[in-house]
């Protein structure tokens, strides 16, 4: 199938660039294949029979099917690399932001969206259980205390709590110091099993901390950063109704979390094309995703959503590069 493979690659590349059905004459005139237009027509007929391309009309040019896009992607010997100068420039951008997941996630979605002109997303890293890192207690008034809880996973929660008896700020500082020493790195279940003598105030505080940690563990869906939904209207093949359904799905964070969780179960790059997607709203789209983070620990995902007619050989290296940058940044942070 060498000849058909070459013709299919040309057809997919041309269709991605123009969004117009590609005819055998178009391929024959613009490509030096060393074969006649009739040979190209015969090859395209075989590709159509085998389900790699389709025609909107009998006399029209052809468009790739999901199967054709899949063959196109897998026909490349590797996933592709960005040119060195582009990779260097992308890495340099991350040197100018703070050392925080939120800053990195916001920057990554912005870079992806502007570079590729598709919807970009970052699913924030999430571990199975959160871990206690630090607590600070601030006296507000009488028995009212502000509890500031910091997780090892770089998240923070604040909550007002009421004590049974008033406590001074010095006493609260002593409580914080003891809890920070005794429970550093613990999960909520480990805190529950720990055999540590606690005063009444310490017990009240740790009871609230355990509840807050359990609530955090029970959060079913990941947090997302999204950018570039405006680019959806620029793709004529999607149509207004399809774009509306897609935007509705993207705005439903719970549904989006379910969909992406299915797509990023395995490590490495994942390209889900059209009918391969689990959600109806994505059946005319491709989703390119890759996990990043600390393997076996905190992991998130970065990705791009666009029509099946997306420039895969530009999208894939860009997603790979940013995934590597995010992973390296997190490894440095947690080293």
pLDDT digits (tens, 9 = 90+) for 26-67: 888 766 677 888 888 899 999 999 999 998 877 778 999 999
- 227 and 328, same structural domain? yes
CATH number at residue 241: 3.30.450.40
- 213 and 225, same structural domain? no
- 315 and 286, same structural domain? yes
- 191 and 45, same structural domain? no
- 109 and 66, same structural domain? no
Residue 220: band (very low, low, confident or very high) from pLDDT cuts 50, 70, 90 = very low
Using CB atoms within 10 Å of the CB of residue 123, give its burial: 0 to 12 exposed, 13 to 18 middle, 19+ buried. buried
Is residue 167 in a domain?
Answer: yes
CA distance 8 to 163: 71
Range of the domain at 157: 132-217
- 27 and 114, same structural domain? no
Give the CA count within 13 Å in the CB-facing half-sphere of 333: 17
- 152 and 22, same structural domain? no
Is residue 313 in a domain?
Answer: yes
Is residue 79 in a domain?
Answer: no
Is residue 298 in a domain?
Answer: yes
Q: Are 325 and 333 in contact (CB under 8 A)?
A: no
Q: Averaged over 218-238, what is the pLDDT?
A: 80
Query: Can you tell me which residue has the tokens 């925080």?
Result: 100
CATH number at residue 11: 1.10.10.10
Residue 172 confidence (pLDDT) above 90: yes
Q: Averaged over 164-187, what is the pLDDT?
A: 94
Question: Can you say whether the dihedral through the CA atoms of 167, 172, 173, 179 is positive or negative?
Answer: positive
- State if pTM tops 0.75: no
What's the domain count of the chain?
3
CA distance 27 to 222: 46
CATH number at residue 188: 3.30.390
- 194 and 291, same structural domain? no
Query: Can you tell me which residue has the tokens 């996990």?
Result: 291
Residue 296: band (very low, low, confident or very high) from pLDDT cuts 50, 70, 90 = low
- 258 and 115, same structural domain? yes
Domain boundary residue among 164, 199, 217?
217
**Average predicted confidence (pLDDT) for the chain:** 87
- 243 and 163, same structural domain? no
- Per cent of the chain over pLDDT 90 is 48
């Amino acid at each position: 199938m060498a000849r058909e493979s070459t013709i299919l690659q040309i057809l997919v590349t041309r269709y991605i660039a123009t969004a117009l059905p590609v005819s055998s004459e178009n391929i024959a005139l613009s490509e030096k294949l060393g074969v006649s237009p009739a040979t190209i027509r015969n090859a395209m007929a075989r590709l159509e029979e085998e389900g790699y391309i389709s025609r909107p009309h009998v006399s029209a040019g052809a468009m790739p099917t999901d199967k054709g896009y899949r063959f196109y992607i897998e026909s490349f010997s590797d996933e592709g690399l960005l040119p060195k100068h582009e990779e260097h420039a992308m890495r340099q951008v991350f040197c100018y932001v703070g050392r925080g997941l939120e800053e990195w996630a916001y920057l990554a979605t912005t870079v992806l969206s502007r570079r590729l002109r598709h919807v970009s997303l970052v699913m924030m890293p999430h571990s199975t259980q959160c871990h206690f890192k630090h607590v600070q207690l601030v006296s507000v008034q009488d028995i009212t205390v502000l509890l500031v809880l910091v997780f090892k996973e770089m998240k923070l929660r604040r909550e007002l709590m009421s004590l049974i008896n008033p406590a001074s700020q010095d006493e609260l500082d002593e409580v914080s110091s003891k809890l920070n020493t005794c429970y550093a790195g613990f999960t909520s279940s480990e805190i529950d099993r720990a055999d540590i003598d606690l005063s009444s105030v310490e017990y009240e505080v740790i009871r609230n901390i355990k509840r807050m940690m359990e609530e955090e563990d029970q959060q079913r869906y990941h947090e997302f950063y999204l950018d570039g939904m405006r680019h959806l209207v620029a793709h004529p093949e999607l149509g207004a109704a399809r774009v509306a359904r897609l935007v509705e799905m993207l705005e439903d964070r719970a549904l989006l979390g379910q969909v992406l969780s299915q797509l990023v179960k395995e490590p490495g790059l994942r390209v889900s094309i059209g009918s391969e997607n689990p959600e109806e709203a994505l059946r005319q789209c491709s989703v390119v995703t890759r996990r990043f983070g600390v393997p076996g620990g905190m992991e998130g995902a970065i990705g791009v959503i666009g029509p099946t007619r997306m420039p895969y050989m530009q999208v894939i290296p860009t997603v790979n590069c940013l995934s590597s940058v995010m992973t390296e940044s997190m490894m440095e942070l947690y080293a």
